[in-house]
Structure 1
Amino acid sequence: MTPPSASDRQQPIPVIIDCDTGVDDALALLLAVRHPRLDLRAVTCVAGNTDVAGVVRNTLTVLERAGAPDVPVARGAERPLIEGVRTARHVHGADGMGDLGLPAPTRAPADVDAVTLLRREILASPRPVTLIPTAPLTNIALLLRTHPEVTGNIERIVFMGGAVATGNATPVAEFNVWHDPEAAAILLTAGVPITMYGLDVFERVIVPGTHVRRLRASAEPGTRLAGDLLAHRGPATDASDPGGGLGDAGAVCAVIDPEGLTTRRLPVEVSLAPGPARGQTLVDRRLRAGESELHDGVREQPLVDVALDVDVARYVELYLGAVERTEA
């Protein structure tokens, strides 16, 4: 990713998050609300970690806890473009939010659908918007196919999804891409700069247990929620001192501080065929063409800034510094 210029750093970055809240989506929302470098213009919801109604409820609750009740939230796709919904409640709890017993939100979502809200906020922004999808990419695919004119005011799409090496939904496919592979394939043809924040870095950014306990002891609702969510996420940095993974929040860190991420611009495509490789992001790291291209011809593939390494301590410090602010 290209670091922002000195003049750009003086203004908050307009961002929209498309999410399936979700424990780690909630961590991402808390960061986006509280970091002064970001101007969170809207949040759109899609089925994924839980059903879309639960995603809307969880999103509104998190925004209220974070101190941002006025950010517009819209309900989006109830299912992938082709297949049925396959939730991750076994990871995120029955309510999608770690079964923390959080109160219901006090306000309703916007009276427009997610695609309409995305189009409205992107075109209305005085500066190009950065989209941060942390969920299956159904809403984004529908937006790009229905309103392709929005790409003229999109700075970059930084999506949490995919994997260069190992998957989690299957041995080779990451959940968000696996959930709606056709939508991910459409995203890659958006014609705007794209960063893939995949499992290769996603799973590495761990907040040590001592910090998680401090967050959980806070009297400030948003800070305490961050600690509770991290405690639910696991994994452990040390068996005697378990920490919590930032997960999707790392993609937000990458927008705020792109220099903390090591990327390489590479061809990426999504496997769409039925079978064990469906949903795999095929990242071509070869230095030259192989026999397939020599015999069958070279196929043009979208170039994506693929995250290959991350400065863990830098992103943990960034996150903690933001969520422990007492004012949003």
Structure 2
Amino acid sequence: MPNDGQPIPVIIDCDTGVDDALALLFAVRHPGLDLRAVTCVAGNTDVDGVVRNTLTVLEQAGAPDIPVARGAGRPLIEPARSARHVHGEDGMGDIGLPAPTRAPADVDAVTLLRREILASPRPVTLIPTAPLTNIALLLRTHPEVTRNIERIVFMGGAVACGNATPVAEFNVWHDPEAAAILLTAEVHITMYGLDVFQQVVVPGADVRRLRASAEPGARLAGELLSHRPATPDVGADSEAGGIGDAGAVCTVVDPAGVTTRLLPVEVSLTPGPTRGQTIVDRRPRLGESELHTGTRDQRLVDVALDVDVERFVKLYLGTVESV
């Protein structure tokens, strides 16, 4: 939270999605955040499903009438490739959520992003938890928005192992060109990648407590956590669940909860097994390649390398159960 104690204006761009839903629940309920808009993009499921899921989650969370807009239905170049095998046929773990009664905004995602960013009386923190197609279109169509963006904290990429491929994380792999465009933005960028994403796991006892809650939003968080999207091996605690994308929103509220380093990052756009990889240069000095051919034009990004798991779990639970 800013030193003046005022809530941070944020916009979430998502592909809701089990863990995007967990992120929305947290953002709606944390007093240090002012969620001004949500924009939707194809990713975990098709874009119309993402809009439906987003509206349902906001209703279940008891959120005010936050504008939600439909965005890109496919990546900039390639066809859409969903993650329904992880998130279920409906993108929400097939837990039987009702259809929303709310309606999306009557403008597209890029228009809504521009409008809300420029209208905010304080610089906005943009939190993409999805393929970066909408963000790339925004930056290319309306570059003036960067003057009122405080920073971009995106869930995507990986320093070590990927999940879509051995080296590429799903959000970046789904639209590598869009991710490369993001890295051209003249704003402060934080990468909350798989290296920390996979660490923050809520213990099974807490998941069971949430599922038993009489409060709809907390109960929904428990149901989503029990689906455990992309959670690492949790051993004997079979009911534990990862907060996933919600960790990126926790990072905005509590940046001291992650350990970051300012490092050069670029996205591999080459066809083949490295496509979509975020190449993070952790070397202490230039290598032979740079010495012989010159340095590459790499963007310096705050890369999250470690996370205080207990701190973020406590922050997440304390927020979603605060109503």
CA distance in 2, matches of 1:96, 1:198: 21
Whether contact under 8 Å (1:205, 1:246) holds in the other structure is: yes
> Which blocks of at least 5 consecutive residues in structure 1 are unaligned?
none
Match of 2:159 in 1: 164
Match of 1:47 in 2: 42
Whether contact under 8 Å (2:207, 2:226) holds in the other structure is: yes
CA distance in 1, matches of 2:143, 2:237: 51
Report the TM-score, using the length of structure 2 for normalisation: 0.98
Displaced runs of 4 or more, over 6 A: none
**Counterpart code for 2:218:** T
2:223 corresponds, among 219, 225, 228, to 228
Match of 1:190 in 2: 185
Q: Deviations over 1:108-134 (max 9, x none)?
A: 100000000000000000000000000
Match of 1:105 in 2: 100
Q: Deviations over 1:170-204 (max 9, x none)?
A: 00000000000000000001010000000000000
3-state SS of the aligned residue for 1:313? helix
Whether contact under 8 Å (1:140, 1:183) holds in the other structure is: yes
**Counterpart code for 2:260:** T
Q: Deviations over 1:224-255 (max 9, x none)?
A: 00000000116453325430000000000000
Report the TM-score, using the length of structure 1 for normalisation: 0.96
Whether contact under 8 Å (1:60, 1:69) holds in the other structure is: no
CA distance in 2, matches of 1:137, 1:323: 26
Whether contact under 8 Å (2:14, 2:128) holds in the other structure is: yes
Match of 1:273 in 2: 270
- Residue 14 (structure 2) pairs with residue 14 (structure 1): no
- What does 1:1-328 align with in structure 2 at a 5 Å threshold? 6-7=3-4, 10-233=5-228, 235=231, 237-326=234-323
Whether contact under 8 Å (2:158, 2:168) holds in the other structure is: yes
CA RMSD, 1 decimal: 0.9
Worse overlay, 144-153 or 61-70:
61-70
Cα deviation, residue 258, structure 1:
0.1
**Counterpart code for 2:63:** A
Q: Deviations over 1:248-281 (max 9, x none)?
A: 0000000000000100000000000100000000
**Counterpart code for 1:204:** Q
Tell me how many residue pairs correspond in the alignment.
321
Whether contact under 8 Å (2:126, 2:153) holds in the other structure is: yes
Whether contact under 8 Å (1:208, 1:237) holds in the other structure is: no
CA distance in 2, matches of 1:89, 1:105: 20
Whether contact under 8 Å (2:203, 2:237) holds in the other structure is: no
